[in-house]
Chain A
Amino acid sequence: MRSFLNAVIFTVAVLGFFTYVCIYVTGLSGGGDGGGATGVSPEAGEKIFWGDGQCHTCHSIGTSGSATRGPNQEGLASRAEERAKATGLSSGLEYIVESIVEPDKFIVEGYDKIMPKVYDPPIMLDREKILAVLTYMQTLGGETDIGAVMKFKDRIPEASKTKVVPWVPPIEVDPKEGELIFFDDTRDVTCSKCHLLNGKGSKVGPDLTGIGAVQTPQYLIESVLKPSKVIVKGFETMYLMTNDGMAYNGLLVSQNEEEVVLMVDEDGKMEELVFYPDEIAQMQKQDVSIMPGNFSEMLTTKEFYGIISFLLNQK
C-alpha cells in the first residue's frame, strides 16, 4: 500500500510540473487572437494580420514575427509600386489586392505557391477584414488611403461561406412518411408512377436511386417545385403534332426511320404511343418538363419536406 501511495504522490508531482509548465507557457505566449477587430482601419488590419487572418504564420514584418515561408512584408507598399510597374498594373495597391485575390498570380522569386485564398475556407476572412488588412499594408512603407482601398471593394470576393451547417428541414418531418407518399399508388402525386427508386417504380423520369449522395437539398427542392428549371438530359419533353391535327406532349422513348415512340400521359396513366413518319406533321423538343409543376398545391408542407428528407437519405 505504501509503495502504491508513493507512486500516486510521484504521479501527481509529475502532473503538477506539467500543469505548471502549461500555465507558464500561457503567460509567455499570451492569448491575442485578433478577435474583436472591426471596421476598415490600419489598427483593425494589424490585429487581423497577427490574428484571425493567420498572415503572420507565413509573413514577418521587419523584426516582428519570425515566419519565413512567405516574403517579409517590411516596406511592402513601396516595393509593391515597383512591382506594379513591372507587371503593368496601375498602382502598388492594385498589386497587393491582386496578390490577395489571386495568390498564385505573382510569385516572389524564391518562394513557393503556398498562399491560400484567405476568403475561402478554412480562413474565410470576410471582405471588410481583407479591406482592413489592405489599409494596414499601406502603412508598411507608405501612407494609408482608405478611400483608395474602398475602390477595390468589389474586386475582393465575399467569404465563400459564412455558417455552414448540414441541411435540416424547416419543420420536423419523418422521412418514412415521405417514403409512403413516394410509393402511394392511391394518390395523384405518387412519385413512383414516373420515377424508379431501388428497383421500384417506373422509368418515365430519371432513376432516383442514390439521389441523396449526388444532389443537394436545394436542387431537389427546386426540381420538385419548378421541374422545368433544370431538365435532366434524356428526359426533355417532345411536342408532336400529327397530320390530322392531334397534338401530344411526352417523353421520347425511341426514334428510328420506321417509327417514333412517345410516352404520354393519358388521363393520369403513362402510355407508350407509336407514330409512323408519314403521320407526323411536326415534332420538336420543349423546354417544359413533363413533370407536373403544381406539387406545392398537391402536397402539404410536411409531406413535401418528408419526401425531400426521404430522397436525401437515398445514398
Chain B
Amino acid sequence: MDYIKPFINFTSKKLQLRIVFALFLAIFLIALATGTGMAQENAEAAKDAVAAEPYKVVDYRNFFGLDGRLIVWIISELHLMFAAFVLAVPIFVVIIEIIGAKGNDIKFDNLAREFTKLLSAAFATTASLGGLLAFALYGLYPAFMRYMTDVFHPFMFIYALCFFGEVFCLYGYYYSWDLLSKTPKGKWIHISIGVMLNLFGTALMMLANSWATFMMAPGGINMETGTVTSLYHAFYNFLWMPVNIHRIIANVAFGGFVVGAYAAVKFMGSKTDEERAHYDWMGYIGNFIGLSALIPLPFAGYYLGREVYSASPVMGNIMMGGAFSWTFIIQAILIGMLFIGGNYYLWNGMSRIKGAERYTPYIKYINIVIFFCFAVWLTPHNLPLSGEERALIGEQYHPFSKFFGVMAAKNAVVNLLILSTFFSFLLYRRANKGETKPFSSHGSAARITLIITVGLTVMYLAWYALGLRGIDLEENIKQYVSPLITCLVLQIIAIVIALLLTFANKGKFAQSFLFVVTAVMAVIYFWYYGFVVMEKANLVLRYLSVTQVSIVISCLIVNTVIDVLIFKDAKEVGGIQWGKIPHRSQYALLLLCVAIVTLMGLMGFIRSGLRMNWHIYGYMQDTSAGAFTPSIAYMGWTVSLIVILFLALVAFVFWLAGLADKKKKHA
C-alpha cells in the first residue's frame, strides 16, 4: 500500500532522540545560567559572614550526617573488589589466549575474549570507584590525606601514568582482537599487549599497596615528627612485599571464582545444549583458576601474618591473641566453605566424565578428611577466655578439644586440607585418562623438565635446611631445630627417589610415595612435634611452620609435574560431556564466589582494623569519633552490605556487557 511520507515523521526514533537531547540541553543551560547567578548572589551575601568568622582547618568530616569511616570502608572495599577482579582477569586471560594460540584452538581464544569483555565492562566501574574513594578520603579525612600526600605525592603521579598505561593497553587489547588475530605474528603482538596490561595493572596495585602497608608498618619517617627521612623506605616498607604477594594470589582466586559464578548463572539460564556446554566449560575453567590460586594462598597468608608479627609484636598479638582473634574463626569458616565448595564441584564434575567412576569410592574418604580438617581449624583455643567461659569449660582448656585449638594442630590440618584438595584435583584430572604411555617414551624433554623441577625444589629445601643449621639460638633451644633439618633432608631424599621411580616408568607409585612421606612428616609428625616445641621451645614454632609449608609445597610442585608428564598422550576413556553436570553443582560455584568476596571483605576489615586507633601505626592517631574497633556483629552487617552491593554492581555491569551480544543475536 502506498502512503504519503510526512514532512516531519514524529514516529521516527532518531527524531525522538534528538528532541529529548535538545530538551535536556535546554534544561542544562538554563540550570547553569540560574546556578551561576545564584552562586554570585550567594557569594556576595556570604562575603560579610566569611570576613567575620575566620576559616577553620578541619581534620575530619562526616558524610551528610553519616560516619565518614563507614563511608570510606564501603567505598574502599568496593573499589578493592572491583580492582581485584580487573587485575586478576588479565592474568588468566593472557594465559588462556596463549594456550589457544599455541594449540591453535579457537575455543580458548573465544573464552579469553569473553572474559576480556567482562573485564572492559568492570574496568570503568573500578576507575569510578577509585575516583570516589579519593574524593571520600580527601573530603572526610583531610588532615590524614594531607600527610599521606606530603609523603607519597611523587608516587601518585607515577600511579596516574600507570593508570593511563593500563587504560591504553586494556582497550588496545580488547579492540584489536580481530585485527591482530589474522596472522600468527599479529596474535603474538596481541598477547604482548596483554602482558603489558598485566604489568601496568600489577604496578598500580603495588603502588597502592605501599600506601596501605605504610599505614600499618610505617618506614622512612621520623616517628616523632613525621619528617620523611627516606622516601624509598616509606614506599618499600616492611609489609609491602608480603601484601603484594598475598594480594596477587588472592586476586587470581577472586577473579576465577567470580567468573565461575557468572558462568553458573549463565548455565542455569541456558536454553540449548550448546550454551550449557559452553558455560559448563567456562565454570570449570573459573573453578580451576580459583582453586589453583587458593591452594598456595594459605602459605602466602601465613607469610604475611608472620611478617605482621615481625613488624610489630603488639599488632601481631592483637591479630592472633587479642581483639581480632575471633575473626580468624570466621575466616576459617569461609575458607572451609571454599575448600568444601571447590571439592564438591570437582566431584560433581566427575559425573560428566566417563571413567571417573573408578575414583568415586575415594571421594567419601576425602570428604571425611576435609570435614575433620575444617572442624579442627574451627576449634578455638588460643583466645582470652572470660570467667564464664572458663566456668563453663571447667578448666583453662577443653579436655578434648585443647589438642586441636593450638597452632601446631591448625598448621597440620591446613596442610592436610591442601594435600586432600590437591589429591581430589589429581583424581579429577585423571578421571578421563586411561592407559598411560611409559615415561621413557616421552623423550628427553620430559626428563629434563623433571630434573629441573626436582633440582630447583631440592635446592630450595637444602637452602632452608642450611639456614636453619646456621641459626643463632641458645643451645638448649637450638636442639629442637635439628628434627626440622632431618625432615627437610628426608624430603629431599624422597623427592630424588620419586624422580628415579618416575624414570623407571613407575610415576604413579612415585606420586603416592611422595604423598605418603609428605603427609607423614608434615601432618602427623609435625602435629605431634608442634606440641613438644610449644611446650619446650616456643621460639622454634615459627621455623617448624615454614619447614612444614616447604615440605608440602615441594610435594605439590613435584607431583604436579610428574602428573602432567606421565599422563601426556594418555588414552581417553570416554571423553568429557560438557553440559552434563548436575544443576546443584552450579550452586557450589555461586557459593565459592560469595565466600571469596565475603572473605575479601573480612580480611580487609582485619588488615585495616589491626591498626586500632591509628591512621599511621605508631605515628598518627585517629582522633575522629569513628576511631573505635567495631564489634564483629557490626563488621558482619557491614561486610554483608558490601558484598551485596558488589555482587549487584557486578551483575549490572555484566548485564550491560551482554547487551551488545543480544543485539547481535537479534540482528
Residues of A within 8 A of B (CB): 1-4, 6-7, 10-12, 14-16, 18-19, 21-23, 25-26, 28-33, 50, 54, 56-58, 60, 63-69, 110-112, 114, 116, 121-123, 161, 163-166, 168, 171-172, 213-216, 313, 315
Whether, in the assembled complex, B390 has its beta carbon less than 8 Å from a beta carbon of chain A, the answer is: yes
Question: Given B265, B322, B390, B537, which contacts A7 in the complex, CB threshold below 8 Å?
Answer: B265
- Whether B150 and A63, one on each chain, are in contact in the complex, defined by CB atoms closer than 8 angstroms, is no
Is B658 an interface residue when CB atoms closer than 8 A count as contact? no
Do B330 and A66 touch (CB < 8 A)? no
Whether A122 contacts B614 by the Cβ 8 Å rule is yes
Collect the chain A residues with CB atoms within 8 Å of residue B385's CB.
Answer: 64-66
In the bound complex, CA of A28 to CA of B392 (Å): 12
| Selected contact of B264 from candidates A7, A15, A166, A171, CB within 8 Å | A7
Do A11 and B590 have beta carbons less than 8 Å apart?
Answer: yes
Give the nearest-CB partner of A2 in chain B: B269
Closest partner residue, chain B, to A312 (CB atom): B150
Chain B residues near A65 (CB, 8 Å)? 384-385
Which B residues touch A67, using CB under 8 A?
317, 321, 382, 384
Please judge, given known A-B contacts A10-B590, A66-B383, whether A31 and B631 are in contact too, CB under 8 Å.
yes
B330 near A22: Cβ-Cβ < 8 Å: yes
Give the Cβ gap from A311 to chain B, nearest Cβ, in Å.
Answer: 13
The residue that A168 contacts in the complex, of B57, B223, B268, with Cβ under 8 A, is B57
B326 and A25 within 8 A (CB): yes
**Also in contact, A54 and B57, with CB within 8 A (given A63-B395, A67-B384):** no
Say which one of B544-552, B571-579, B617-625 lies at the interface with A. B617-625
Q: Are B330 and A25 neighbours in the complex by a CB distance under 8 Å?
A: yes
Contacts of B54 in A (CB 8 A): 171-172
B362 within 8 A of A: no
B643-A54 in contact (CB<8A): no
B405-443 contact mask (Cβ, 8 Å, vs A): 1 or 0:
000000000000000000000000000000000000000
- B623 to chain A minimum Cβ distance, whole angstroms, is 6
Residue interface bits B146-179, CB-to-A below 8 A is 1, else 0:
1100100000000000000000000000000000
A315 touches B228 (CB 8 A): yes
Q: Looking at the complex, which one of B150, B225, B636 makes contact with A21 (CB distance below 8 Å)?
A: B636
Supply 21 A–B pairs (Cβ within 8 Å), ascending by A.
A7-B264, A7-B590, A10-B590, A14-B590, A14-B591, A14-B594, A21-B333, A22-B633, A25-B330, A29-B326, A33-B629, A58-B321, A63-B390, A121-B223, A122-B314, A122-B315, A122-B617, A168-B57, A171-B54, A215-B227, A315-B228
Beyond A56-B384, A68-B534, A171-B54, list 20 extra A-B contacts (CB 8 Å).
Answer: A3-B265, A7-B264, A10-B591, A14-B595, A21-B636, A22-B632, A25-B330, A25-B632, A54-B314, A65-B385, A66-B385, A67-B317, A69-B321, A122-B614, A166-B143, A166-B146, A166-B620, A168-B143, A172-B55, A315-B150
Q: Is B34 an interface residue, CB under 8 A from the partner?
A: no
Task: For residue B125, give the distance in angstroms from its CB to the closest CB of chain A.
Answer: 19
Say whether B322 contacts A54, CB under 8 Å: yes
Q: Are B268 and A15 in contact (CB under 8 A)?
A: no
Identity of the chain A residue whose Cβ is nearest the Cβ of B534 in the assembled complex: A68
Interface of A is mostly: loop
Q: Report the separation of the CA atoms of residues A50 and B539 in the bound assembly, to the nearest whole angstrom.
A: 24
Q: Are A216 and B321 CB-contacts (below 8 A) given A4-B269, A166-B146?
A: no
Interface string of B303-320 (1 = CB under 8 A from A): 000000000111101100
Expressed in whole angstroms, the minimum distance between the Cβ of A8 and any Cβ of chain B is 9
Beta-carbon contact of A165 and B636 below 8 Å = no
Q: If A23-B633, A64-B385 touch, does A15 touch B644 (CB 8 Å cutoff)? A: yes
Q: How far is the CA of A163 from the CA of B651 in the complex (A)?
A: 45
Chain B residue numbers with a CB within 8 Å of A60 are 396
Q: Does B181 contact A (CB under 8 A)?
A: no
Pairs of residues from A and B, 8 with the lowest C-beta to C-beta distance, nearest first:
A22-B636, A57-B317, A3-B268, A121-B618, A63-B396, A26-B633, A216-B225, A172-B55
In the complex, the answer to whether A214 meets B632 with C-beta atoms within 8 Å is no
**A313–B389 Cα gap in the complex (Å)?**
55
Q: Check if B277 is an interface residue, CB within 8 A of chain A.
A: no
State A221–B436 Cα separation when bound (angstroms): 81
> Are B382 and A58 interface neighbours, CB within 8 A?
no
Whether the pair A10, B313 counts as a contact (CB closer than 8 A) is no
Interface pair A66/B396, CB less than 8 Å apart: yes
A30-B323 in contact (CB<8A): no
Q: CA separation between A26 and B47, bound complex, in Å?
A: 52
Query: Which residues of chain B from 240 to 287 have a CB within 8 Å of any chain A CB?
Result: 261, 264-265, 268-269
Q: Is the CB of B386 closer than 8 A to any CB of chain A?
A: yes
Chain A neighbourhood of B587, CB < 8 A: 10
In this complex, what residue of A is CB-closest to B631? A26
Complex CA distance for A28 and B389, rounded to whole angstroms: 9
Any chain A CB within 8 A of the CB of B226? yes
Q: Is the CB of A19 within 8 A of B636?
A: yes
Chain A residues with CB below 8 A from B73, complex form: none
Chain A's nearest CB lies how many Å from the CB of B639? Answer: 8
- B567-598 residues at the A interface, CB under 8 angstroms: 587, 590-591, 594-595, 598
Contacts of A161 in B (CB 8 A): 224, 621
Query: Which B residues are CB-close (under 8 A) to A315?
Result: 150, 228
CB closest chain-A residue, reference B644? A15
A165 in contact with B55 given A11-B590, A66-B385, A116-B313 (CB within 8 Å): no
Set of chain B residues within 8 Å of A166, measured between Cβ atoms: 143-144, 146-147, 226, 620
**Closest A-chain residue to B616, C-beta based?**
A164
**Alpha-carbon gap, A161 to B228, bound state (A):** 19
Name the one of A30, A54, A216 contacting B318, with C-beta atoms under 8 angstroms.
A54
Instruction: Give the chain A neighbours of B629 by CB distance below 8 A.
Output: 33
What CA separation (Å) do A57 and B330 show in the bound complex? 19
Does B64 sit at the interface, judged by CB under 8 A?
no
Write out the residue numbers on chain A whose beta carbons fall within 8 Å of the beta carbon of B636: 18-19, 21-23, 26
CB–CB A68/B621 < 8 A: no
**A19 to B632 Cα, complex, angstroms:** 9
B13-35 interface mask toward A, CB cutoff 8 Å, 1 = contact, 0 = none?
A: 00000000000000000000000
Given A66-B381, A66-B384, verify A11-B227 contact (CB < 8 Å). Answer: no
A4 to B264, CA, bound (A): 10
Query: Complex Cα distance A58/B598, Å?
Result: 30
**B534 partner residues in chain A, CB cutoff 8 A:** 68
Task: Among A25, A164, A213, point to the contact of B227 (Cβ < 8 A).
Answer: A213
Q: Give the complex CA separation of A168 and B221 in angstroms.
A: 18
Q: Which residues of A contact B229 (CB under 8 A)?
A: 214
List of A residues within 8 angstroms of B647 by Cβ: 11
Closest to A116 in B: B314
Query: Distance (Å) between the CB of B658 and the closest chain A CB?
Result: 12
Q: Which residue of A lies closest to B144 (CB)?
A: A166
Complex alpha-carbon distance, A110 and B475, angstroms: 11
A164-B633 contact given A54-B317, A54-B322, A216-B227, CB 8 Å threshold: no
Give the docked Cα–Cα distance between A30 and B632 (Å).
Answer: 10
Mask: chain B, 193-225; 1 = CB below 8 Å from A; 0 = not: 000000000000000000000000000001111
Chain A residues within an 8 Å CB radius of B143: 165-166, 168
* B312 with A122: CB separation less than 8 A: yes
Distance of A65 from chain B, by nearest CB (Å) = 5
